[in-house]
A and B are shown apart, each in its own frame.
Chain A
Amino acid sequence: YAVVPGNYKWKTNQLTYRIENYTPDMSQAEVDSSIERALKVWADVTPLRFTRIYSGVADIMISFVIRDHGDGYPFDGPNGFLAHAFFPGTGIGGDAHFDDDESFTFSSSNGYNLFLVAAHEFGHALGLEHSGDPGALMYPTYSFRDVKTFVLPQDDVNGIQAIYGPNTEVPVDPEEPKPTAPVTPNACDPKLVLDAVTMLRGEMIFFKNGLFWRNQPQSYESEQHLIKSFWPQAPDNIDAAYESPSDDLVYLIKGQKVWAFYGYDIAKGFPKTLSSMGLPPKVKKISAALYDQETGKTLFFVNDRYYSYDETTKKMDKGYPKRVEDGFPGMTGKVTAAFQYRGFTYLYSGPRMFEFGYGRLLRVLNNNYFLPC
């Protein structure tokens, strides 16, 4: 996270806001609710309290405007810049402007969700700069995330609490524990257990929680992105992923559902059920999957057993499940992620990666062998 240099912060914890006008994209009640919830995101973790006023000058003046709106920072029409806000201060300080050439929405993933945009802008209005953490709300680019289950990421909590301190009035209800703030996974964590790994059009993709790293083989740098910024329809916390190069599809699996994507777009007919891929109905969850280029088979791992699926005939092979150790001698633990690269098979078990080639175990490696720290 980053805070505004120069210690720009509100001198009081009691702040006022006013909604000066409304966007025609949503009902007034939807705008009111989105703004209220966006402020609550910050009030929940700090001593800041927000009161709405209906006339006069509020600390945070909220307006929907287009193009040149008199503050020296004109908007640019649809897409591009969605909104901006001014750091704490008198006059225009703290004010938030939304580009009304955008299509704002209340809950769906189409258009730009006003709650998410507003919560980000209010972060600026309270004294936060953009964060370089791709999982943070204060990351500068917009990506949709599930609004109903939204919890302020830990990076943003750390940032705002560095300015205003924590909320000391949080009622402790043992019946309803507070959801934990999501922490962006760190590739340098030696205990990192990846959710899934796959190749995708020549790149390696490493999934963890709601994010993934993409890395070009033999590169020392990787990019981290929210899963939903690439595939808005995809779930977080996936169980397994694999690429079918012949169909140019990448499959993401969570629970008993399978999603297939062609580039950024979901393939027709997906999500499907695991059983529609031919897996027996008793299989409720798989732990890893990989596409074997040599045989044209996809292997589905269920802990220490695996099934084989023929991509050509689109049928499961007979004689499975087998014990993983039977096909991969030396692999005794649960397989948590898997992929194949340059003819070698890599099976992950927790933070360790087992390299197989020529029918035997070659090396035991750490995550950062492929995922740069």
Chain B
Amino acid sequence: GPVPPSIGKEEEDLAKNYLKKLYNMKEEHTRSARSTDHSVSEMSEKLREMQEFFGLKVTGTLDSETLEVMKKPRCGVPDVAA
């Protein structure tokens, strides 16, 4: 089957920014291994929320279809209650 294109740094930043603004994902404050693990799992959790809301395949990982939805023009109000 076709191999999905790999996600670049720029697109990962876009996704993080999207989840911070619209899914209340917290900023990463430190660079310790433990907090990085935490931020990865939080991002995965937020991705799941977003994928579920948009009816995408819920994987918790950033794939090309999820990115496609993130890049669509949209309203700036969060989809989930703060």
Contact = CB atoms under 8 A, between A and B. Distances in A.
A79 B56 CA distance: 22
Contacts of B55: 132, 134, 221-224
Contacts of A130: 53, 75, 77-79
A112 B73 contact: yes
Interface string B6-32: 000000000000000100000000000
B79 A129 contact: yes
A86 B75 CA distance: 12
B69 interface: yes
A80 interface: yes
A140 B79 contact: yes
Contacts of A224: 55
A141 B81 contact: no
Interface in A217-231: 219, 221-224, 229
A83 interface: yes
A117 B73 CA distance: 11
B69 to A, nearest CB: 7
A132 to B, nearest CB: 5
Contact of B69 (A75, A102, A120, A141): A141
Nearest to B58: A221
A242 B21 CA distance: 40
A84 B72 contact: no
B69 A124 contact: no
A73 B76 contact: yes
Nearest to A80: B73
A370 interface: no
A195 interface: no
A22 to B, nearest CB: 20
A38 to B, nearest CB: 13
Given A134-B55, A221-B57, A79 B79 contact: no
B65 to A, nearest CB: 8
Given A223-B55, A223-B56, A84 B77 contact: yes
B76 A81 contact: yes
A81 B57 contact: no
Given A80-B74, A129-B79, 16 more contacts: A82-B75, A83-B75, A124-B75, A130-B75, A130-B77, A130-B78, A132-B54, A140-B74, A141-B72, A142-B75, A221-B57, A222-B55, A223-B54, A223-B55, A223-B56, A223-B65
Interface of A: 4-5, 73, 75, 79-85, 102, 112, 117, 120-121, 124, 129-130, 132, 134, 140-142, 219, 221-224, 229
28 contacts: A5-B81, A73-B76, A79-B73, A81-B21, A81-B74, A81-B75, A82-B74, A82-B76, A83-B75, A84-B76, A85-B75, A85-B77, A117-B75, A120-B75, A124-B75, A129-B77, A130-B75, A130-B79, A132-B54, A140-B74, A141-B72, A142-B74, A219-B57, A221-B55, A222-B55, A223-B54, A223-B55, A224-B55
